[in-house]
Chain A
C-alpha cells in the first residue's frame, strides 16, 4: 500500500525554524517527483514546493522562496521541508504529496495525512 506519513509539526515562535519529514512506503520513492502543499486554517490548498526524483532540481512558491528548503533522502525514502524565518502566515497543515492529476495512469496521486505547523508567540 502506498503511504506517506508526515511528522515534525508543532508550535514555533515567529522567526523560528522547523523541519518536517515525510516517510514514504509502498512505492519506488526514488522514481517520483514529490511536493509539499499547505492549507491555512479554514482556507484552501496552496502548493509550496517540489523536488525532482534525484533531488537535483527544486522549485518554491514565491511566499516561501529563500526561507524554505525541500530535500530528500532516497536511501531513507524520506522527504524533508526545512522551514526557517517562520511567520504567522506560515501557520497551516502541511501535506507531502505525490501529485498525479496530469498522469495518464491512475493511482499516482497520493497524499499524507498532514502535519500542523503553528507559528505564534
Chain B
C-alpha cells in the first residue's frame, strides 16, 4: 500500500497567517490526491481534488499543488473558521490511503 506521510502533525498559527501542510507519497500517484478539512464531530469536507482543483464553494484562500510524490495545501490568510484538522487522501491505487492528519490550532 502507498504510504502518505503528512506534516506537520500539528501546527499553531494566528489569524492572517499563511500556512502550508505537506503530504509525501511513498510512490508516484500522479495528481490523484485530495485535501479534506474536518471539524470536531463532523464529517470530512473536501477542499481540493485532483491535487490542485478547488472544490466549488471553498474559499479561494485554499490552494493545492504538486504531482507525483510531493503535495502541498496552502491557506493564504488564516480565518477563525479554518482552525480544524486537515487530511490528504490518495486514490491513485488500491487501497486509498490517508495522511495522518494535521491539527491546526490557534496561537
Contact = CB atoms under 8 A, between A and B. Distances in A.
Interface in A12-34: none
Contacts of A113: 42-43
Interface in A67-117: 95, 99-104, 106-109, 111-114
A104 to B, nearest CB: 6
A104 B52 CA distance: 11
Nearest to B89: A101
Which size class do B's interface residues fall under? Answer: 20 to 34
Contacts, number: 69
A102 B43 contact: no
Contact of A101 (B43, B49, B56): B49
A47 B87 CA distance: 13
A50 B101 CA distance: 22
B43 A95 contact: yes
Contacts of B53: 106
Contact of A109 (B34, B90, B97, B101): B34
A100 B15 CA distance: 30
Contacts of B48: 101
Contacts of A44: 87, 98-101
Given A61-B95, A106-B55, A109-B46, A99 B101 contact: no
A104 B95 CA distance: 19
A62 to B, nearest CB: 9
B50 interface: yes
